[in-house]
């Protein structure tokens, strides 16, 4: 088994999550620098967003991260929603994301969540993630719709 430690990453340690998050969101201004990410995480934490990281022996930066929050939804009750899941390319295929998903499921139980939810893009770059989600027991339960409104920050 690949040795790893899973632990929370607070905003003050944004630099430890920067590489994995910028792999996942390379066009986000919030992943452009440690300071930008710290500012984002500080604000997002106030809105309930949390980060957990997987750490490999001898590597200070997280090799994989997951960002999540608790959401109360009329249609689903209290759920743990996963915003972000990313493993650094060199660390893929070693079970880090599976371990993070397992951790998130336990955390969901601890926080009284009835289910784990996430959205995932439909492009080829997400096929590995989709296989993983199905293997982890998640089902495809919705279509996600969005519309660009032409103002604010567009990605």
Binding stretches for ligand COA (CB under 6 A) = 2, 24, 64, 85-87, 92-98, 120, 126, 128-129, 131-132, 135
Alpha-carbon 18 to chain mean position: 12
Smaller CB distance to ligand COA: residue 48 or 121? 121
Smaller CB distance to ligand COA: residue 37 or 85? 85
Order the strands of the 115-118 sheet from edge to edge. Answer: 5-8, 50-55, 64-73, 77-87, 115-118
To the nearest whole angstrom, how small is the minimum distance from the Cβ of residue 53 to ligand COA?
12
Can you list the positions of beta strands (E) in 17-152? 50-55, 64-73, 77-87, 115-118
Smaller CB distance to ligand COA: residue 33 or 132? 132
To the nearest whole angstrom, how small is the minimum distance from the Cβ of residue 89 to ligand COA?
8
Smaller CB distance to ligand COA: residue 119 or 151? 119
Evaluated on CA atoms 56, 61, 64, 69, the torsion sign reads positive
To the nearest whole angstrom, how small is the minimum distance from the Cβ of residue 24 to ligand COA?
5
Q: Decide if 49 contacts 82 (C-beta within 8 A).
A: no
Ramachandran region of residue 4, left (φ > 0), alpha (ψ -120 to 50) or beta? beta
To the nearest whole angstrom, how small is the minimum distance from the Cβ of residue 151 to ligand COA?
26
Smaller CB distance to ligand COA: residue 35 or 135? 135
To the nearest whole angstrom, how small is the minimum distance from the Cβ of residue 125 to ligand COA?
6
End-to-end Cα distance, the chain: 38
């Amino acid at each position: 088994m690949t040795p790893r430690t899973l632990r929370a990453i607070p905003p003050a340690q944004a630099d430890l999550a920067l590489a994995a998050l910028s792999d996942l969101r390379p066009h986000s201004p919030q992943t452009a620098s440690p300071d930008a990410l710290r500012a984002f995480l500080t604000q997002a934490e106030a809105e309930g967003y949390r980060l957990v990281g997987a750490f490999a022996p001898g590597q200070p930066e997280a090799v994989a991260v997951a960002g999540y929050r608790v959401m109360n939804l009329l249609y689903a009750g209290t759920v743990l929603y996963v915003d972000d899941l990313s493993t650094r390319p060199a660390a893929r295929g070693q079970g880090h994301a599976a371990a993070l998903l397992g951790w998130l499921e336990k955390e969901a139980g601890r926080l009284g969540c009835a289910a784990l939810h996430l959205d995932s893009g439909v492009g080829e770059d997400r096929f590995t993630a989709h296989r993983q989600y199905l293997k982890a027991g998640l089902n495809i339960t919705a279509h996600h719709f969005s519309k660009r409104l032409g103002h604010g920050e567009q990605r």
